[in-house]
Structures are given as C-alpha cells and as structure tokens.
C-alpha cells in the first residue's frame, strides 16, 4: 500500500479537469514526478495494462463498428513534480558485448535508439554517449541503421518490419540479453510502435491469451513480466518517444510549419505523397482505400495487422515527451496524445536538474470501446481523398483523432512536456529535444538527462511491482 500511494493518478480522459500537485522548484526532492520523500524507492508509474473494464471491449477493438462516441466522460488527472531520480553506481562506456572481457559484465538490457525522418544513426551521437556514461554496463545501446534517409519514405509498416528484423539480429547475436527498451525520435516512434507489434509474443501458459490491455490494474500489479508477453523474446521495460506524431499530422497545427493556414493544410495531404511517399499518406491518414481504416488508426488497437496495443501494453512503462511550442515538424497535441481541450498552458519554470522539462503528467488507463471506423469516417476519408476542401479535412481529422485517442488511452502513459521558450534557438525544438547536433541543439541536454534518469529508475525497480498506471 505504501508503494502504491506514491503514484496515485487519475485518468487523462476526454475533457479532463486538471488538479495540480506542484512542488517548489527549490524543493529538496528535485527531479521528476514524485509526491513524497520516500519516492526514491519506488518504481515507475506507468503500468503494463489498462483497467479491467476495458477487457470486454478490447476484443472487439479491431472490428469495424457502426458505433461512434466522442468520449465526453469526465475523468481526472494529477500532475506531479519534484522527484529525485534513483542513482546508479555502475557507470562506464559500453559499445558492444564483444568488448566485455568476462561474462558477468555482459549487458542484459537492450536499448534500441530509433531516428526520425530523413535521418541516420549519427543523430544519436550525443544521446548514445551520454546514456552510456549514465547507465553503465548493464545496457547494450544500439542505434538502428536500417531506415536511413529516404528509406523513411517507404511507409511506416515497411520501416517497422525492417526495424523488427534488425532488432532480432541484435538479440540473436547477444545471448546475455534479457530485457528490451525503445527510445525513438519523431517518425521513429511510429516505426518502433509497428516493430514492437511484429516482435510481440503473448504468454499463453495460463490457458488464455495474455493481453496487455485486458488485465485489471490490480492484477497487473502482482503479475510477473512474462504475463504481459515478450518483445523479441525479451522482457519489455520502457517505450519512450520524443516528439512523435502518434496521431498523425493531419489537422490544425499538427504540422506546425504550415502555420495553421487553412489553404496550406488543405494542400498538404495531396502533396505529402509526392514528397515523402507512402509515409506521407499514412501520416495524413489518407492511405489505402476509402473503406479501409488508415494505418495509424489500426495501430491504435489489436487489429488484423498486428497486436499493436497488446505490444505497447507489454512494456512496464510508456513515456511520451512533447514540445509544447516551437516544434516546426510535430504539434504538441499529436506528440502528447491529447485532445485540443486537454492542452493547458504549461509552467515556464523547468524541473530541478532538467532544463526545459516543464511538466510531468501521469495518465492512467481509460476504459474505451474504441477505436472504430464508422460509416461517417468512410465517407469523410473518401471526401478527403477526392475533394480535399477545408470542411472535409476537418471532419475527417476530428473523427480519426478521437478514435486514435480512444484506442491509445486504454493504456497508461507518462506525458512529459518540454518547452524551449527560453532557449537561444527555440525554433530548433524538434531537434533540440534529442540533441541532434551537440553544438547547435545543446539546449536539449536536460531532456536527455531526464530520459536517462527515467531509464535508471525503471532499471532499479522490482520486475514484479508494476506501477499504478
């Protein structure tokens, strides 16, 4: 009971009133997300399953339902600041298991770094070095290289499958691995979500299929890691994204460099496929035939394409970092998986020790019968494809955004807001958040430190204590 009380949080459902529990930035607690001095001995507050009431609905989430709900139920969320991250004494540089002299020092935790659009593993140069220094020898940090540059244009599904194959190769040649985590930037977060579904294996030892979105919170707190299923045969720990367009980029200010101009936002979907191929149409939710749900909607559930939600639910902790402003590529709403009404003005003051990290919100699972692709969505998608006027675009976007949120909110999330308003180059926010180039984007070093401490916290927590979210 003492452990559970450290991470009390409400649901971040539709139209959420927010209740703040903020600590003074000079508090001795420092860090992120705790509510008491004993928090240094607690585990991460993200759970591996949703509420029990979603059990019956999850089985039908992949089917096309005629029902459509706007999800106007009132839920509550708590925000916490001021947590001192758990320390780790073993530090050092580590590149490959081949560099370890003896078996007892071999890494057992694989951390996969996934870059974004038109990028390469070199984008992780600073992050990789910093994480090696902070995390120590238990981690094998691997920067993915299978989807470099224009390969990111070939579609989220294609890139996700290539990433899954690459991860399996790493796992096969490193026998000491037992756990796995993902850290992805921008479009790479969607590649990683697809890859985890390909790599996901449920646990059927109990006689019934283990579904990360079907277990109750109470049951998941006492369940073993194997009950949640595995990713690439390993225990899934952290799934972390930085400025990832989880809801696509369609809609007002979801692609900020268009400045919210209706004319440009109307043209963008039809031009996206010309410039960024299949990936563009998938991001704008216009991929496939009108009567088929877009890929990103299917990825918000367990569909015939894969167990996307169960794969995400298998991770002990899910964290999304989102730029609240100055991100020219990905809007705050889509990167934080929130509705427009759930966006509130963030604090200007950074958390202690984490420059530009301004807020942390814990969102527990919300029961939902979504997502669905109702008849009105079919008509709206066809209209958006054939006659992309402003009204059709808005109607289709609103339908799809709500359904994607209804699917993803069936899992618990930790949402971290980042603001570079006081940085020297705030308009580089999209690259600052992961320090793409150290000399130009060094404003994001506080974010990387926060990520590292999040990973350390989960690394040192008991595998049998799932969090309350």
pLDDT > 60? residue 174? yes
Model pLDDT, residue 223? 41
For β-strands 139-143 and 109-114, DSSP reports them as parallel
Cα separation, 420 vs 424, whole angstroms? 8
Model pLDDT, residue 44? 45
Q: If pLDDT is split at 50, 70 and 90, which confidence band does 171 have?
A: very high
Which region among 104-113, 121-130, 182-191 has the lowest average model confidence (pLDDT)? 104-113
168: its two tokens: 């399996």
Model pLDDT, residue 379? 86
CA atoms within 13 A on the CB side of 439: 0
Model pLDDT, residue 144? 97
Q: If pLDDT is split at 50, 70 and 90, which confidence band does 118 have?
A: confident
Model pLDDT, residue 438? 83
Question: Bigger pLDDT: 74 or 463?
Answer: 463
Model pLDDT, residue 377? 87
pLDDT > 80? residue 95? no
The pLDDT tens digits of the residues spanning 383-432 come to 877 766 666 667 788 889 999 999 999 999 999 999 999 888 888 999 99
293: its two tokens: 């749900």
pLDDT > 80? residue 189? yes
Share of the chain above pLDDT 90, in %: 46
Model pLDDT, residue 274? 56
Model-level pTM?
0.75
pLDDT > 80? residue 39? no
Q: Let me know: does 112 contact 179? Beta carbons within 8 Å.
A: no
Model pLDDT, residue 386? 77
Model pLDDT, residue 127? 97
What average pLDDT does the chain have? 74
Which region among 97-106, 110-119, 126-135, 410-419 has the lowest average model confidence (pLDDT)? 97-106
Question: Bigger pLDDT: 213 or 111?
Answer: 111
Question: Bigger pLDDT: 245 or 218?
Answer: 245
pLDDT > 80? residue 335? yes
Q: If pLDDT is split at 50, 70 and 90, which confidence band does 176 have?
A: very high
Q: Let me know: does 156 contact 282? Beta carbons within 8 Å.
A: yes
Q: If pLDDT is split at 50, 70 and 90, which confidence band does 312 have?
A: very high
pLDDT > 90? residue 342? yes
Those residues whose C-beta lies under 8 Å from the C-beta of residue 251, and which sit 6 or more positions away, are 265, 333, 334, 393, 394, 397, 398, 401
pLDDT > 60? residue 89? no
Nearest to 287 by CA among 384, 373, 192: 384
Tokens 């010309």 locate to 274
Tokens 């209804």 locate to 406
pLDDT > 70? residue 33? no
Q: Where are the beta strands (DSSP E) in 251-356?
A: 302-303, 306-307, 317-323
Question: Bigger pLDDT: 137 or 370?
Answer: 137
Model pLDDT, residue 346? 86
């Amino acid at each position: 009971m003492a452990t559970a009380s450290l991470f009390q949080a409400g649901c971040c459902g539709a139209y959420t009133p927010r209740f703040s529990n903020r600590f003074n930035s000079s508090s001795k607690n420092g860090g992120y997300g705790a509510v008491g001095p004993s928090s240094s001995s607690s585990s991460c507050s993200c759970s591996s399953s949703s509420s029990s009431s979603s059990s019956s609905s999850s089985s039908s989430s992949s089917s096309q339902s005629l029902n459509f709900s706007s999800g106007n139920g009132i839920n509550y969320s708590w925000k916490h600041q001021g947590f001192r991250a758990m320390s780790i004494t073993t530090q050092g540089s580590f590149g490959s298991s081949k560099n370890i002299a003896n078996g007892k020092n071999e890494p057992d935790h694989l951390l996969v770094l996934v870059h974004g659009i038109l990028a390469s593993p070199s984008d992780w140069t600073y992050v990789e070095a910093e994480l090696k220094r902070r995390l120590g020898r238990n981690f094998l940090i691997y920067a993915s290289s299978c989807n470099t540059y224009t390969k990111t244009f070939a579609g989220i599904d294609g890139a996700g499958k290539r990433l899954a194959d690459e991860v399996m190769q790493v796992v096969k040649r490193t026998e000491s691995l037992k756990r796995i985590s993902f850290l992805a930037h921008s479009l790479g977060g969607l590649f990683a979500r697809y890859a985890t579904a390909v790599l996901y294996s449920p646990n059927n030892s109990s006689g019934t299929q283990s579904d990360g979105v079907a277990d109750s919170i109470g049951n998941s707190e006492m369940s073993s890691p194997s009950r949640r299923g595995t990713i690439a045969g390993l225990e899934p720990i952290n799934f972390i994204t930085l400025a990832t367009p989880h809801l696509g980029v369609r809609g007002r200010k979801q692609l900020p460099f268009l400045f919210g101009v209706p004319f440009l936002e109307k043209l963008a979907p039809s031009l996206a496929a010309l410039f960024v191929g299949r990936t563009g149409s998938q991001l704008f939710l216009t991929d496939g035939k009108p009567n088929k749900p877009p890929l990103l909607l299917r990825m918000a559930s367990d569909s015939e394409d894969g167990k996307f939600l169960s794969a995400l639910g298998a991770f002990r902790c899910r964290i999304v970092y989102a730029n609240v402003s100055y991100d020219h590529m990905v809007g705050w709403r889509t990167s934080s998986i929130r509705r427009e009404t759930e966006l509130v003005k963030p604090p200007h003051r950074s958390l202690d020790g984490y420059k530009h990290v301004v807020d942390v919100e814990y969102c527990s699972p919300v029961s939902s019968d979504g997502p669905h692709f109702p008849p009105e969505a079919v008509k709206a998608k066809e209209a958006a494809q054939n006659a992309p006027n402003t009204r059709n675009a808005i109607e289709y976007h609103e339908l799809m955004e709500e359904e994607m949120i209804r699917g993803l909110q069936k899992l618990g999330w930790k949402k971290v807001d980042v603001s570079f308003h006081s940085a020297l180059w705030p308009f580089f926010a999209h690259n600052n958040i992961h320090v793409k180039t150290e000399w130009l984007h060094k404003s994001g070093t506080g974010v990387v430190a926060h990520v590292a401490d999040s990973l350390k916290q989960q690394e040192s927590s008991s595998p049998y204590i799932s969090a309350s979210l």
